[in-house]
Structure 1
Amino acid sequence: MKYLLFAGALIAAAVAMPATAQDWPMFMGDARHTGLVSATPTDIAKLKPVWRYRLAAEVSASPVVVGNLLYIAAENGNLYAFDLTTHKQVWLYRAEGGIGSTPAVADGRLYILSRDGYLTALDAASGKALWRFKTGGEARFGVPGGYGMPKADGIVPDPWDFWLSSPLVEGGRVYFGSSDHHVYALDVVTGKEVWRFEADDSIHAAPALSNGRLFIATWGTKLYALDAKTGAKLWDFQGGKDAETGIFQGFSAAPTIDGDTVYIGSRDGYVRAFSAADGKLRWAWDAEKSWVLATAAVDADSLYFPTSDTTVFIALDKKTGREKYRTDTKVWTYTSPVIAGDYAFAGTMTGDLYAFDKRTGKILWHYQTDDAKTDTQDLIDEAGKLRMDGLFPQGFPPAPGVENVKALGAFEASPIWAGNRLIVVTANGEILIFSDGTE
């Protein structure tokens, strides 16, 4: 099929364009989730912490930056705004439930989804609530008999279901998914519902948007393409599904859009590329039965993401799905990477933060949290791997083990690059800002 030159130019313009070096206003930096910025550290060896601060809260949502304000949402229900120059708290907003979604900031407003079932709009400068929209309720995904527990014990929540759907703002609307099985589009000024779409299952992944199409994935391992204006379904794809009592499949990752291609990893053990127009499968990369919970980042040539069970950081050729390299991270990595110039940054569940050479996968820089170095429970062995037998004893639910791992300063929140700073927050609430001294 031949395209007009003008249409071709529009598509080319939508391919892996980096975010500004100063702002990171939503999950993965932009509406297409490229995870890409044009800035790069001058000297990676000089990257060191210039500020750290411990919140009295667990954090699963990624930080965002707009202008000189850093916003961090926490599971204690607090949303914090810090001045990046003075490192002073500017304001705090209190929700009635934990905030598991990465905030989105646009045109002076900030949007969050909290576990009490509300999507809230705030004034980004003052933290004043502007409006709230109630969903049908937010909850961790779970099924009776999950993880081998007796069905009589009732629903077993999935302890690896870390996040809620992070809002996306574009064209005067805020889009997000909900545990109530719906995708919502709201007016950004009034909070009034424009449309809703009923999906097959709970939605905790963030939506992505490009060229009037909204892409969003569910715990039923289904990826939907919707008309962003009307909410009408354009196409869908069904990935691998569990039995009724299963809990191992589903989409936690958000889609990544690059030109006319949509990429997404899944807990069914594959990373896939689809035609954005009609959902035709272009290629599927076999993750060797490993979960892929992270949202992939993309640049001009490659797709980048980490894996869970196989504990590797991967680069694929984005056109063919051919593997370019893999680097062992020794442990599950669930953070979505950020690509800053020549480097890819990602953090693991043992509190290790890495800068990879994005061309070769070589580890060029490494930081480990103080909590992981102390390792008071002796969870990390001599090889840098987790002691699985002690963490997850047979016949016990996995949630206590996951909580113990979080205490290492694990990274559930993805790193960001804004204002020539690397900014991360640990699962147990430590904010870390790194600089090479050139900001």
Structure 2
Amino acid sequence: MCIFRLMTTLVLSIAGLAMTGLSTSSASEVAPISSVTSPAAEWPSFRQNLLQTGVATSTLPEKLELVWEAQLGDQIEASCAISGGKVYAPCLSGHIVCLDLKSGQKDWSYQSIDEIPANSFAPGFKAPVTISKGVVYAGDEDGVMHAIDAATGKRKWIYKTEGEIYSGAVVVEDRLLFGSYDNALHCVKVEDGTAFWKFATDGYVHCTPGIVENSAFIAGCDEHLRRIDLQTGKELSVLPLSTYLIASPAIRGDLLYVGTYANEVVAVNWKEMKIAWRYRPSDKEFPFHSSAALGEKVLVIGSRDKQIHGIEIATGKGLWTTPTRARVDSSPAIVDQRVFVGSDDGNLYQLAIESGEVQWKFNLGKSIHAGPVVGEGYLVVGSTSSDGRLCCFGKK
């Protein structure tokens, strides 16, 4: 939340998108990445995989039913994670809550601080949850990254930054990367949270990094797209985009896609750091806070113009728009030929990816800022209701 903070606050669907491994020759270097895909049918991080594509590896029933709902005690601003039959949900109450995916029964709840001072509150979680190899990671609004044992809910370690954390964390073998509002991208050891390196920018780093070929890509509030070497933390290349960047970059092949604060979605050849195309739906200034989802032919993204946009990936041509009754900051999830995305009008929408036609919707009662997550045959999404309403859809 860059400007708005100041104001008020694979198995992928296209074959052949495997990721080049990372070389190692010393303890400080990155171990090889076997692939960009996540464990079968899971949704372990903000956009499901290291390329941040927002494409599920799980299927869903043709007709969704509300399987269960839970009240977690405060607003849910960010995306959950699904892994091993569990849901891990972040809450503004300062809790990460683990629930059984099929029943919604609570397994454990982790609090960001051990004791809450009188007349105060626990730092809330506004960042997406990540789970990897039995450890849950999430950053809080006091700038602390937490590593939590997924089985017990007990703290493993914490790492402190100097600003709020809205960025989701990504795990690349032995290291964890995430942005902070202390104007930096941080890289720490997954084992104990000690620092590998920190890359300083000229503005808040809100996005979740995209990872490809030994590199982390960040789009920041300093109006630049940056490519950072995973081993050294050194900048490899940079592209000025002359506008605030909130959304996380999505990557496929040689192209990277990201929405901007200047009412544009841009495709960037990240190897050359050159613009391939720009999509600008109108002359009005409606920011894209939503992170794009990359279907086989269609890119889908929400906008503060109250619409969901379908864009031809090959050309940047607008294919369709679907109106909602409020802004769309939620980041879409693609499941086969369907798109799922929330809106501030309180509705979770299911759209046909080729046409944008609304096939189904469900009203959660309050704004949906979080992106829906799809794993192990279920879809889970939370709302900004004061009781922290979390809903799970699938087949009863």
Match of 2:49 in 1: 30
The Cα of 1:229 is off from its aligned counterpart by 1.4
Please tell me the residue identity of whatever aligns with 1:416.
Answer: V
CA contact (8 A) 1:81 1:90 kept: yes
Please tell me the residue identity of whatever aligns with 1:323.
Answer: G
After superposition, residues 74-85 of structure 1 pair within 5 angstroms as: 74-85=91-102
* 1:262 maps to which of 249, 256, 267: 256
The Cα of 1:22 is off from its aligned counterpart by 2.9
Of all paired residues, the percent bearing the same amino acid is 26
CA contact (8 A) 2:251 2:257 kept: yes
TM-align CA RMSD: 2.0
Alpha-carbon distance in 1 for matches of 2:138, 2:39: 22
TM-score (norm: length of structure 2): 0.86
* 232-241 vs 14-23, greater mean Cα deviation: 14-23
Match of 1:390 in 2: none
The Cα of 1:13 is off from its aligned counterpart by 2.9
Residue 101 in structure 1 maps to residue 127 in structure 2: yes
Residue 351 in structure 1 maps to residue 351 in structure 2: no
Match of 2:86 in 1: 69
Residue 90 in structure 1 maps to residue 107 in structure 2: yes
The Cα of 1:238 is off from its aligned counterpart by 2.0
Where is the helix percentage greater, Structure 1 or Structure 2?
A: 1
Match of 2:151 in 1: 125
* 12-21 vs 57-66, greater mean Cα deviation: 12-21
Residue 13 in structure 1 maps to residue 39 in structure 2: no
Please tell me the residue identity of whatever aligns with 2:18.
Answer: A
Deviations 1:389-413 (A, max 9, x none): xxxxxxxxxxxxxxxxxxxx11011
Structure 2: gaps of 5 or more residues: 1-13, 21-34, 114-122
Please tell me the residue identity of whatever aligns with 1:432.
Answer: C
Alpha-carbon distance in 2 for matches of 1:36, 1:227: 25
CA contact (8 A) 2:43 2:56 kept: no
* 213-222 vs 176-185, greater mean Cα deviation: 213-222
CA contact (8 A) 1:270 1:286 kept: yes
Alpha-carbon distance in 1 for matches of 2:57, 2:186: 32
Cα pair distance change 1:318/1:128, threshold 3 Å: same
The Cα of 1:14 is off from its aligned counterpart by 4.7
Please tell me the residue identity of whatever aligns with 1:115.
Answer: E
Please tell me the residue identity of whatever aligns with 1:32.
Answer: L
Alpha-carbon distance in 2 for matches of 1:364, 1:355: 6
Alpha-carbon distance in 1 for matches of 2:82, 2:356: 27
Match of 1:376 in 2: none
The Cα of 1:75 is off from its aligned counterpart by 1.0
After superposition, residues 145-294 of structure 1 pair within 5 angstroms as: 164-241=166-243, 250-288=244-282, 289-294=285-290
CA contact (8 A) 1:110 1:123 kept: yes
Residue 426 in structure 1 maps to residue 387 in structure 2: no
Cα pair distance change 1:10/1:194, threshold 3 Å: farther
Match of 1:305 in 2: 301
State the aligned residue count.
356
Alpha-carbon distance in 1 for matches of 2:88, 2:61: 26
* 1:415 maps to which of 372, 380, 386: 372
CA contact (8 A) 1:120 1:131 kept: yes
Match of 2:31 in 1: none
Residue 342 in structure 1 maps to residue 334 in structure 2: no
TM-score (norm: length of structure 1): 0.77
Please tell me the residue identity of whatever aligns with 1:181.
Answer: N
Alpha-carbon distance in 1 for matches of 2:240, 2:61: 44
Alpha-carbon distance in 2 for matches of 1:277, 1:318: 18
